[in-house]
Every structure is written in structure tokens, then in C-alpha cells.
A and B are shown apart, each in its own frame.
Chain A
């Protein structure tokens, strides 16, 4: 028996050893917290140290904020840090950075790019945005027209992006641009990282139906992007973008999703608090939505279990379709329960919204905001196509754009 076994502790493994299991991770977190008191440490310093210790996203490789551990072990690590009152890395504001840019950089970036972008991305010091959609290309993303032309020592970008969430907070943006208009549309694209503070990048707020300006238009005029900010090969941008979009799935969240979380919670609370508004018809509708929400919750739970067990299922698209519909129907019925109250709206003044929990917003605002759930991140119709084609193996849509150079497509 070795000394370490005697005192009940496995030897601390070097990073080249096999990845840590749940118990080893728990111990590392404990040791880390003993050395870095969350209360007494500057938030940014704390987060940088957590990244350096490999306890940021434990399934990432060593040296890049992780320890090569299993994906499913992250939840427990996050929970342990949360319990200790550790500072957050602005997960809501940086949802695109953490959820989409980071996995893409990890998969397609070279070592220098990973070292350059991942640390400040994870700590939340740098917010990221996604410059994909354009006025002429949304669902049909491969149709983007923003051009990137090589000019001796850099790519020069020109074009307009739209619906860009977080652009006004962002330091970096992932962008899909056309490097070869002569090629068939999926083949003429390349993928870059744009410095949002570079000359020629102009961000304008775009007002939405809630009155606020949560997203933006981004105009790119002769923006110079060095070649070391390209991810993937020239002409391979579509494959890289596909990978980004694959990661754009519903955040399953850590641990057990609470019963009655989401839009049904506000609906149920309203029902309980206002017996005078109850009718048999409304009662039936409330119960139906409650059951559907519980079914969606358990489906998300099961998906999370599959992912943790290394059997990623295609259920993600389904979960997104379902939650979009439930948010919309629950918030709509809630307005009905509110009666006259449901007809009032707090404030349509144009402004930048706080990034906050939707649950704390007014019912009217939520009703309006949830309309976007079935549009943003892939429309419900497109996701149905995805399920039909990728899950059920049904034939792809007939298409008119497969063999034609992009420049000759009707627009």
C-alpha cells in the first residue's frame, strides 16, 4: 500500500495520466477552493486561476481550461463552485461565446488561436457574438453574401449582418463570409473571427417587437481581418459553421430541472393566486400545458442523461421545438388569465434590455419575447426538416441551388 492510499487519497495525477473521475474532480475543486477563497479573491483573478487549474470546463483538454474529463462531470464541478459562492463567468451575456464559439475554436482552431481566445472567453472578460444571419440569408444561411477578399496581408470584409445578439457587448465575433462567389454556394464560404473593435465595424441597435433593442445590425466596411483569424480552410466555412450550429442546442442546465420551471411556472402561480379568474375551460388548458411542460422537462432530463452516458441523442432539436411552443402557449394563456391586466404593457420605450432572467419580466413582455423562440437558433420549420431528414431519414427537400454558382442564384 502506498502512502497516498493509506490516507485515503488517490495520488494527484499529472495531466498526462488518465482523466480524473468524479471523485478526483471533487477533490481538486476542494483543494482549489482551499487555496483561492472566493470571498477574498478578485473575481477575474479567481476565474483565471480556475481556468489555469483545468476546472473551467473539465472536458476540455489540459492547458485549455480542462482536464480531459468526461463531459457529464462538469455539472458537479459547477455545482461545487456555486455552493462555495464562486464568481460567475457571465454565462448569460456570453452564451454565444461559451456555447458556440468555444467548441468551434476548440475543434478548428490551431494552438495559437486556442491560447489566444479561449481563456478570456471562458472567464467572461471577452464577450462573443455570432455574425451569421444577413438580410438575404437566414434559414438559408449558406446564401450569405458578405464578401471576404484577400488583399496581400489580410482579408477585407464588406457586407451587412443582422439580428446579431450581443454585438454591442462583444469584443469578438464569429463570422461566415463568401470568399468565392464563383463557386456553388456551400463551397465558396470561409469562417473568420472578427475583432468587433476593428475599424469599419459598425454596430447599430435594431428595435424588436418588445420595444427594446436586444439585437443589432452590423455593418462591415473594408474591415481587415488577418489570416491568423481564420478558422478552418478557405472554402470550408460551411463545415465550420455547421459545427457551430450543432452546438447551438438548448442549454440543458445542471442537475435536475425544477418541476414547473419555465413559462408554466408563472402560469401556475397566477392560477393559484387568483381563484376568481378560474373557469372550467381555462382549468383544462392550464392542466394540459402543465402536463406537456412536465413531459418536456423529463425529455430534457433524459437527453441530459444520454449525453452524460456518452449516447448523444438527436432529441435536442425536438426539445428546442417543444420549449418554443410551450413558452409561447403558456405566456399567451397567462395573459388571458390576467384579463384587463393582460392588456397593459409596462414600457415600449426603445432601450437596451438588461440580460436577465425572463421570469422576472412582465407577462406582456414575455408573451412578445417568446415569439422569437421559434425563430432564433433555427426556426421550428427548419428544425422539423432536421428531425425528418437526419433522424427519420426522409428524403431531403428538392432544391434549386445545388449546382449553380452562388453569383447566379436568384435573389
Chain B
């Protein structure tokens, strides 16, 4: 029963390399996926912008940043992954980056080098098949193996980034993963994928059913760790989204006049924006800290990820909700981007565990028991 020790903080700033990476991603995304293009896509069946994903992975190499060079990646770290996540969050870009991050964290702990290299290079995408709201710190449900072994049966609902995945990574025990070829368009052997309309139209959920799907069993996978890394990356996505909402709202309130004044000159609105800005400076600090813990293999990652998720979930949601409110009626229309951010922020606050889930996990980690 004592106060937790204070871990090393590490570097919370952005390096020049990270700034350059950000600039490249932003330039590509602004050109390829401006918000109106993202919005138009939501009315189609092509939920994922596969073209953008190809360019992100092949021109910039975003899928291999955290993978060492000798295993086919770029040899950067989770810090750089987090910077990319900020930019993709800012654009609510419909690409399977988050799912790839989680899968990569998982594969890094296994001997699946060939698969890892192909994911890092963007040739294939892989996804961890657990429900979207599962967070680290609690055992995830496993899919049953049939008979002696290598066939799967069961259903996992609401999986993120599984729409276009080539390879499914399915937890079958606490330390084992089944690698399943997903097959093209909906299903491989014994696999059925059903993608449904989702609250977040830019990141649709897929139900995956296995019925005698052939699998290869891999050991050494640490699902919990992968989910923690995912939480750290997601926090940066939320940060990017929140910053975008604040910037858009500031621009709008400066531009719009009512009662013969700029709306941005009303103190009630200024103070709301100031509070949001303060919350975002904190979101940046916790997201950077979580990313650096993931990058350095810090033993504080479980705490850092939980703090980052709790905090960034609430900040992104506040930014999106206040942003919509302060746009007035225009913010409620389909043809305005505010709802893209709102839906992503609302969903993100549940993805990889709700704030409440992470607080409960923290209670154990920092010895503040119920």
C-alpha cells in the first residue's frame, strides 16, 4: 500500500525526423483523402481507401516503422507510428493503420518473420481478431479449436480493420494465436466476414465467423501487450483528431459574425476553446509518453497506455462535440465534416477499451483498489 514509483519520463518532444514524417503523411493525405472525399466514400461499399493505403505503405512505409530493418521494416519506432496516427486521425483517413499497428506489435513477439515482413512492407495486411471494445488488462475471449487442432470454429463480432485484411490473427489461448488466411472478398476457407454499417463510417466493423477454418498455430504471442501498444497509438490518433476539431472551430468562429461581432470575440466561447486547448496540451503529453514507453519497451507501458486512453478518449470526444456545437446548424448537416470527427471520436472512446475500462485496470496497476 504505497505510492507508485516514478518512472523515467523520457523524451516527450518531436524529433526532426518525426516532423519530416508528419509533413510527408500530411501532404499525401491532404491530396489523396481530403474530408469531402472521405465523406463521399462513406456512401459507397468501398469502406477502405485501398489506394491511399498502398501509397502510405509503399511510398512512406508507414506499416513498417516499428519493425527492425533486419525483419523487413524501417527500423524506426512506435514514436514514429504515433506521429503517423496523429495525422491519420486528423484526416479520419479510412485506412487500416490501427489494426496494422496492433497486429505488428503482436507479430513482433513471434517468429512469424515472413508474415511480419510482408505486413511491414504493405504487401499484406493482418489484423488481430478480437472485438473492437476489448482493452488490455483483461483476458480476451478465445476462439475454439476443433478436435485435435488446426481448424477453428466460432464467431468474433465487431472487429476493427478486418474489412480488407489478408491475414487473421485469432487468439486461441492465452499465449497462442491462430494464423488464418482470410481469403478475398469476405472469406477464405471456412471464414465468413460480414461488414456492417457502423457508427464510425470511416472505420467499419466486421463480424468474423469461423467454421472449420484451417489455421496455423503460433506461440509466443502477447495479446495484452499488443493491445497496450494499440492503445498508445490510438491515443495519438485521438490527439490528431482533437487538434483538427479545435483548429476548424477556431477558424469558423473567427470567420463568422453575429450580433455585429466575430463569434470568436465572445468570452463564453473563448473560454471553452481555451479549456479545450489546455486539455489538448495534456493529451499530447500523455500520448507522447505512451508512445515513448511503447518504443523503449518501458515497464510503465500498461500505466501509460491506460492513462493515455482514458484522457485522450475524453479530450477527443470533447473536441468533436464542442466543435459540432460551436458550428451551429451547419455542423449538424451531412455535407459538413463535423460528423466525421464526432463519429470517429465517439467510436474511438470505446475502441480498445472505454475510459472506464482503463480506469479499472489502472486501479490495480497503481494500487488504488476498489
Contact = CB atoms under 8 A, between A and B. Distances in A.
B is a partner of A: yes
Interface of A: 256-260, 265, 268-269, 271-273, 275, 278, 280, 283-284, 286-288, 290-292, 294-296, 298-299, 301-302, 305-306, 309, 311, 313, 315, 318, 321-322, 381, 383-385, 387-389, 391-398
B278 interface: yes
Nearest to A396: B265
Contact of A318 (B7, B277, B286): B277
B250 A318 contact: no
B117 to A, nearest CB: 35
B17 to A, nearest CB: 15
Contacts of A256: 6, 8-9
B359 A291 contact: yes
A387 B13 contact: no
B281 A291 contact: no
A321 B278 CA distance: 8
B362 A291 contact: yes
A283 B363 contact: yes
A299 to B, nearest CB: 4
Interface stretch (B46-54, B143-151, B266-274, B323-331): B266-274
Query: Nearest 5 pairs between A and B by C-beta?
Result: A388-B270, A318-B278, A387-B274, A298-B285, A395-B265
A292 B311 contact: yes
Contacts of A296: 282
A286 B13 CA distance: 29
B24 to A, nearest CB: 22
Q: Which of A290, A292, A294, A385 has the most CB of B within 10 A?
A: A294
B12 A302 contact: yes
Interface string B1-26: 11111111101110000000000000
Given A290-B366, A291-B310, A322-B282, A392 B277 contact: yes
Given A278-B369, A318-B282, 15 more contacts: A256-B6, A256-B9, A258-B6, A260-B4, A271-B368, A272-B2, A275-B369, A287-B368, A290-B362, A295-B285, A298-B12, A298-B282, A298-B285, A394-B250, A394-B254
A384 B264 contact: no
A160 to B, nearest CB: 30
B367 interface: yes
A283 B370 contact: yes
B89 to A, nearest CB: 18
Contacts of B366: 268, 290
B4 A384 contact: no
Given A272-B2, A301-B12, A309-B13, A295 B274 contact: no
Interface string B305-320: 0010011000000000
Contacts of A284: 356, 359
Given A302-B284, A322-B282, A391 B277 contact: yes
B259 to A, nearest CB: 12
A387 B277 contact: yes
Contacts of A391: 274, 277
Contacts of B203: none
Nearest to B370: A283
Nearest to B254: A394
B370 A299 contact: no
B275 A305 contact: no
B310 A322 contact: no
A305 to B, nearest CB: 6
A387 B277 CA distance: 8
Contacts of B281: 299, 302, 313, 315, 318
B288 interface: yes
B274 A384 contact: yes
B311 A394 contact: no
Q: How large is the interface on B (under 10, 10 to 19, 20 to 34, 35 or more residues)?
A: 35 or more
A275 B274 CA distance: 38
B118 to A, nearest CB: 36
A272 B1 contact: yes
A392 B368 contact: no
A265 B286 CA distance: 19
A394 B265 contact: yes
A318 B283 CA distance: 12
Contacts of B286: 294-295, 298
A107 to B, nearest CB: 27
A295 B307 contact: yes
A318 B369 CA distance: 31
A10 B7 CA distance: 34
B196 interface: no
A287 B271 contact: no
Nearest to A258: B6
Nearest to A383: B274
B289 interface: yes
Interface string B347-370: 000000000100100110011111
Contacts of A295: 282-283, 285-286, 307, 311
Contact of A278 (B262, B273, B367, B370): B370
Contacts of B7: 259
Contacts of B1: 272-273
Contact of B3 (A260, A278, A318): A260
Contacts of A394: 250, 253-254, 264-265, 270, 273
A286 B4 CA distance: 15
A327 B36 CA distance: 44
A299 B282 contact: yes
A273 B11 CA distance: 34
A311 B55 CA distance: 34
Interface in B283-306: 283-286, 288-289
B278 A302 contact: no
Given A395-B262, A397-B267, A291 B307 contact: yes
B9 A298 contact: yes
Contacts of A309: 13
B274 A272 contact: no
B323 to A, nearest CB: 14
Contacts of B285: 295, 298-299, 301-302
B307 A301 contact: no
Contacts of B264: 394-395
Contacts of A387: 274, 277-278
10 contacts: A259-B6, A287-B359, A295-B282, A384-B274, A388-B270, A391-B277, A392-B277, A394-B250, A394-B264, A394-B270
Contacts of A388: 270-271, 273-274
Contacts of B12: 298, 301-302, 305
A212 to B, nearest CB: 29
Contacts of A299: 281-282, 284-285
A381 B7 CA distance: 34
